[in-house]
Structure 1
Amino acid sequence: MTAQSPLLWLLGLAPEDRRVVRETAGDGYQCRLLDDMDASALASALEQDDDPLLLWLGSGVWRTLRREHPGVADLLQLVPAVLVLEADADRPLLEQALEGHFQQVARFPLDRKQVFEALSRAREARNMYQDMARMAREIMMERELLERKSEVCAFLFQAFAGLDGAADARELMACCRQAMKEAFPVKGVHALWWGSGGRAAYLLDASDGSAEAEAWRAFLRERTGVDGAGDGEALVGRDNGKKAPEPERTLLLPLEIRKRRCGILALDLDRPLLPGRDLALALDAVRKHLAFILWERGGDEEFFAASSSTSALSDSLPQKRRSAFV
Structure 2
Amino acid sequence: MHLMGFISAVAAVVLLAVLGQAAVVTENGLPIQWDKAPNELSQLPTVDGVIQVNPWDYLQRMALSKLLINSTDPYMSSMGPGEKESPLWSLPLQLGWKLRSGMIYYLCDVTIRNNPGSSSTCGLESSEPVCTSPQSWYACMNYYMSVLPLLAAVQTAVVGKGEIQLHIQAPAEVAQDYCSTSDCSTKYPDAMTKWETFFQSLQQISNSDDTDFNKDKILGLLWAAEEASLQTASLACSERSIYTKLYSSPEVRFGQGWLNSAAYVAVAHFHTNIEKYMAPLPSRVLQESDRPPNIPDLSAEENHALHIFGWMNRVNQLLGVSLVTLWRRAMCSPQAREKGQGLLHDLILDPKFPGTSLMAILTEMTTSC
Larger RCO, structures 1/2 (Cα 8 Å, 6+ apart): 2
TM-score by length of 2: 0.20
Larger-Rg structure: 1
TM-score by length of 1: 0.22
Q: Report which of the two has the higher share of helix.
A: 2
